[in-house]
C-alpha cells in the first residue's frame, strides 16, 4: 500500500461540482492499494499517517503530527499510485488491487480512521468517481509512505 501525503494549508475534494470533503490545515492523503494489501496494511498506513511528523514546532523542525496541530485529514483513493513506471511510456497497473476489493478496503480504512481518530481525521474523496482535488501545499512538504507485508 502506498500513501502519498501532503501537508496542506487547505484542501478540498469535489465530485460533479459538489464539495465532498474539505479541511483547513492538515494532511491530504492519496492512497494506492496493491495486490496483497488488506486490513493490516490499512491499519498500519492510518497509524503512520496520523503519527508522521510533518508539522513544524517552535524551533521550525518537523516534530509535530497532524493531531498535535489539531489538523484534519482527507483520504483520496488513487489506484495509479500502484503503477509500475520503471519501463516504457505507459504505466503498468497490474500491481493495483482490483476494483471491488479496493473499494471494500477503502471503506474499511475510513471506518477504522473514524473510530480510532474521529470524524475530522476520516474525511474522504469518493471511490471510483472522477474527483477534482484542490490543495494549497504547505512547504511544499510531500512524503511517500509505503507498507509491504505487515
Closest-CA residue to 52 (of 139, 143, 120, 148) = 143
Active site residue 79: yes
In degrees, rounded to 5, the angle at the alpha carbon of residue 25 between the alpha carbons of residues 5 and 78 is 30
**What secondary structure letter does DSSP report for 86?**
S
Catalytic residue among 16, 80, 85, 142: 80
Measured distance CA(28)–CA(74) in Å, rounded: 5
Measured distance CA(27)–CA(143) in Å, rounded: 11
Catalytic residue among 30, 33, 79, 106: 79
Catalytic residue among 78, 108, 143, 147: 78
Nine cell digits for residue 100: 471491488
Active site residue 142: no
Active site residue 78: yes
Which of the residues are catalytic?
78-80
Amino acid at each position: 500500500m502506498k500513501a502519498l501525503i501532503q501537508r496542506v494549508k487547505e484542501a478540498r475534494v469535489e465530485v460533479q461540482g459538489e464539495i465532498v470533503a474539505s479541511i483547513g490545515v492538515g494532511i491530504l492523503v492519496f492512497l494506492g492499494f496493491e495486490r496483497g494489501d488488506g486490513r493490516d496494511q490499512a491499519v498500519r498506513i492510518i497509524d503512520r499517517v496520523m503519527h508522521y511528523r510533518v508539522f513544524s514546532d517552535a524551533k521550525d523542525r518537523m516534530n509535530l503530527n497532524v493531531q498535535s496541530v489539531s489538523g484534519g485529514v482527507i483520504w483520496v483513493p488513487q489506484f495509479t499510485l500502484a503503477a509500475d513506471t520503471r519501463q516504457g511510456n505507459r504505466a503498468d497497473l497490474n500491481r493495483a488491487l482490483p476494483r471491488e476489493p479496493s473499494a471494500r478496503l477503502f471503506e474499511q480504512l475510513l471506518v477504522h480512521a473514524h473510530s480510532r481518530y474521529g470524524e475530522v481525521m476520516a474525511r474522504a474523496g469518493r471511490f471510483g468517481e472522477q474527483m477534482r482535488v484542490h490543495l494549497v501545499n504547505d512547504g511544499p512538504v510531500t512524503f511517500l509512505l509505503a507498507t509491504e507485508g505487515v
